[in-house]
Structure 1
Amino acid sequence: MNRIPTLALSLALALSAGQFGARAQSNSAADTASDAASTLSPVDYNFVAQANLGAPFQIDSGRLAEQKATTANIRDYAHLMVVSHIPVVDDLNAILERKRIAAPPETLLQGAYDAMIASLKADTGAGLDRDYVEGQVDYQKGNAALFRHEIQYGADPELRAFAQRTLPKIEDHLERAQKLARGEALGVSTQQGLASPARIGTTE
Structure 2
Amino acid sequence: MNMEKRRQILERLRADNPRPTTELNYASPFELLIAVLLSAQATDVSVNKATKGLFAAAPTPAAMQALGVNGVREHIKTIGLFNAKAENVIKTCTLLLEQHGGEVPEDREALEALPGVGRKTANVVLNTAFGWPTIAVDTHIFRLANRTRFAPGKNVDEVEQKLLKWVPAEFKLDVHHWFILHGRYVCLARKPRCGACIIEDLCEYKDKQYPDS
TM-score scaled to structure 1, two decimals?
A: 0.28
TM-score scaled to structure 2, two decimals?
A: 0.27
Q: Which has the higher contact order (CA 8 A, sep 6+)?
A: 1
**Larger helix percent:** 1
